Structure 1
Amino acid sequence: MVKPPRKRDPLHVLADDPRGRSLGLDLPAGGVVLRPGRRRWGKGSEPLVWVSDEAVGVGALAAHRSPQLAAAGLQAVLLQDRPGLERWWQDREFAPERMSDPDDHHVEPVLREFWSRVVPDPEEGEEGEEIVAPFGRDWPGLAVPGPPDGPDVPDPQAAACELADELTVGGVLPGPRLALVPAARGADVPTALGWGGPTNFENDTALISVVLRSWEARFGARLVALGFDELHLSVAAPPPTTARALPVAAEHFALSPDNIWQGSGSIRAYTDEAVTGCGHWAFWWD
């Protein structure tokens, strides 16, 4: 029996065909970034991600979150420069070999462990209690899912593309590059890249992906953009009331405590500012 030809890795295809025509794509000018430290005898480094040469504008994410791209096994996201860290993705900031497999973890124990790291010590007294109120030191559990599908709930991918345009026009992402990452779903992109944004908090990005997977399922969240140490999600079904949003804010605090420690100052304030009815969740790690 003749075996079917082995399907080539899409990034190897893009290394030879950077516009992606052989994959049914029409990409802007760009090229692959090689995986650091992965040289085999007689072979060069393996490709890790395709990135556009120049910044892309409004409509770029929508144009490349296509069936053709999904069929090729690639996820489209935006990468954002930061002053002093221009083109950080070319400076060996990725370490995919250090990451575990998101399939080996479950969201509840991951967030419970994160919560135990960030909840204030009893010695901090009322000030510490106020940061996490109305919750205490014990992990409060997972928030209930957002509103079910309905006429008022946008398609998650459409919401992601709309947010990408809003962030580009509004200057939150002033000069994003288009990136194509080999991953089965958007939540797994940070792990597939070996992205080091949360390193000072958690150096196994698979644990971040586990949380993102859960938010995909519960709130229609989709990864839109990554910066050197920041992450942007669109949210198609955010919690509509303060009561529903408070437990979600607790999950955000567990994942990215700097959002509150160096931002809103308390879970209550953060809930009103950044979670209730909010279609954009942004995270950063100092």
Structure 2
Amino acid sequence: MNSDHQLHSDLATLTGRADRAVELSGLLPPGRLVETDEDEGRPTLWMTSGPASADLWTAAHKAHGRTGLWPLLLEPLPRDDDFRPWESGELDLETTTSPDLHDHAALLATWWAGHTEVDPDTDPLPETERIAVTAPYGQRWPGLAPGSPFTAEPATFAAEYASHLTDRNPIMRLGMAAAGRGADALAAVGWTGPANHTDDTGEIAAVVRSWEDRFGAMVVGVGFADLYVSVAAPPSTLQEALHVAAEHFAFCPDNIWQNSHPHTLAAYAERLVGLNSWEFWWD
């Protein structure tokens, strides 16, 4: 285990409060603070030195209300020995703004318009095929999907999903971010996974906040350009799923363009019905 002195020093640096480490004494294995690789490198999260179990994630989450530290299962870039971006500190706090500054509905509508715009000079697909990708909506933004009743406590699904993720990738480590909720942890650590979509992770966090409120979503893990979210209230019908899929397309078009076969909103929506986890990947 970490020495209590070092753990308290690390977490006091991260949170600005020395008492936050008390709840985690004896719980966390060896680890260290991670600093950004910017010129003015700043501590952004605390990370275990080795793999973490789902039970550790769950215990750290249960303590969140007292510690103010949100647990994240951290996944490195595949086939990378340097555990990027976490070990290398490829994180950016300079361009990340607060989620409070962003309107999630306006962001999704703007992103949707950009992804469905047809440019005959550069688009490899004919206009009819491009519009068919997002059928039945075409270029029309359908607005926000209504929320659904939670079928159980979000933390229940999050713990189950943490177990699934660590079984699937046993090298995941545990990160601790000073954040009041999972969505905000993405901005707090300066994660840059969606940089080719938006260079401000505060925008991503603002949308995920809305999913936390409407669908009982919880951020469980994050990779180099991957986001892993548990969902307590997934869509239960194909019609509901299509509406949610439209938000996913606006948020992460690569989920449909590259990770769905065929590459259509409708095919992607079929996979969302009753699914208690959402995974996103940005190229």
Fold in common (TM above 0.5):
yes
Which letter does structure 1 place at the counterpart of 2:214? R
Task: Give the Cα–Cα distance (whole angstroms) in 2 for the partners of residues 199 and 250 of structure 1.
Answer: 21
Distance 1:22 1:216, change over 3 A: closer
Residue aligned with 1:247, SS: helix
Task: Give the Cα–Cα distance (whole angstroms) in 1 for the partners of residues 108 and 15 of structure 2.
Answer: 37
State the Cα distance separating 1:122 from its structure 2 match. 6.5
Structure-to-structure mapping, 1:58-97, within 5 angstroms: 58-67=54-63, 69-81=64-76, 82-84=78-80, 86-88=82-84, 89-97=86-94
- Counterpart of 1:4? none
2:268 is equivalent to residue 270 of structure 1: yes
2:188 is equivalent to residue 187 of structure 1: no
Distance 1:127 1:22, change over 3 A: closer
- Counterpart of 1:42? none
CA contact (8 A) 1:11 1:32 kept: no
Which letter does structure 2 place at the counterpart of 1:76? P
- Counterpart of 1:259? 255
CA contact (8 A) 1:195 1:205 kept: yes
- Counterpart of 2:127? 125
- Counterpart of 1:213? 209
CA contact (8 A) 2:217 2:231 kept: yes
Task: Give the Cα–Cα distance (whole angstroms) in 1 for the partners of residues 141 and 12 of structure 2.
Answer: 41
Structure 1 segments, 4+ long, off by >3 Å, are 8-11, 20-25, 35-39
Distance 1:22 1:278, change over 3 A: closer
CA contact (8 A) 2:69 2:180 kept: yes
State the Cα distance separating 1:233 from its structure 2 match. 0.3
- Counterpart of 1:232? 228
Unaligned runs of 5+ in 1: 1-7, 40-44
Task: Give the Cα–Cα distance (whole angstroms) in 2 for the partners of residues 135 and 267 of structure 1.
Answer: 9
Task: Give the Cα–Cα distance (whole angstroms) in 1 for the partners of residues 270 and 228 of structure 2.
Answer: 18
Distance 1:47 1:245, change over 3 A: same
Task: Give the Cα–Cα distance (whole angstroms) in 2 for the partners of residues 257 and 47 of structure 1.
Answer: 31
Which letter does structure 1 place at the counterpart of 2:170? P
- Counterpart of 2:276? 279
State the Cα distance separating 1:46 from its structure 2 match. 3.7
Task: Give the Cα–Cα distance (whole angstroms) in 1 for the partners of residues 106 and 139 of structure 2.
Answer: 15
Task: Give the Cα–Cα distance (whole angstroms) in 2 for the partners of residues 24 and 55 of structure 1.
Answer: 18
- Alignment size in residue pairs: 264
State the Cα distance separating 1:10 from its structure 2 match. 3.4
State the Cα distance separating 1:22 from its structure 2 match. 6.9
Normalising by structure 2, we get a TM-score of 0.86
- Counterpart of 1:145? 147
Unaligned runs of 5+ in 2: 1-8, 121-125
Normalising by structure 1, we get a TM-score of 0.86
Task: Give the Cα–Cα distance (whole angstroms) in 2 for the partners of residues 270 and 25 of structure 1.
Answer: 44
State the Cα distance separating 1:174 from its structure 2 match. 3.1
2:24 is equivalent to residue 26 of structure 1: no
Task: Give the Cα–Cα distance (whole angstroms) in 2 for the partners of residues 205 and 11 of structure 1.
Answer: 24
Which letter does structure 2 place at the counterpart of 1:233? V
- Backbone CA RMSD of aligned residues: 2.3
State the Cα distance separating 1:90 from its structure 2 match. 2.4
State the Cα distance separating 1:203 from its structure 2 match. 0.4
Identical pairs, percent: 37
- Counterpart of 2:239? 243
Distance 1:85 1:215, change over 3 A: farther
Distance 1:262 1:71, change over 3 A: same
Which letter does structure 2 place at the counterpart of 1:165? S
State the Cα distance separating 1:119 from its structure 2 match. 1.1
Residue aligned with 2:228, SS: strand
Task: Give the Cα–Cα distance (whole angstroms) in 2 for the partners of residues 13 and 227 of structure 1.
Answer: 21
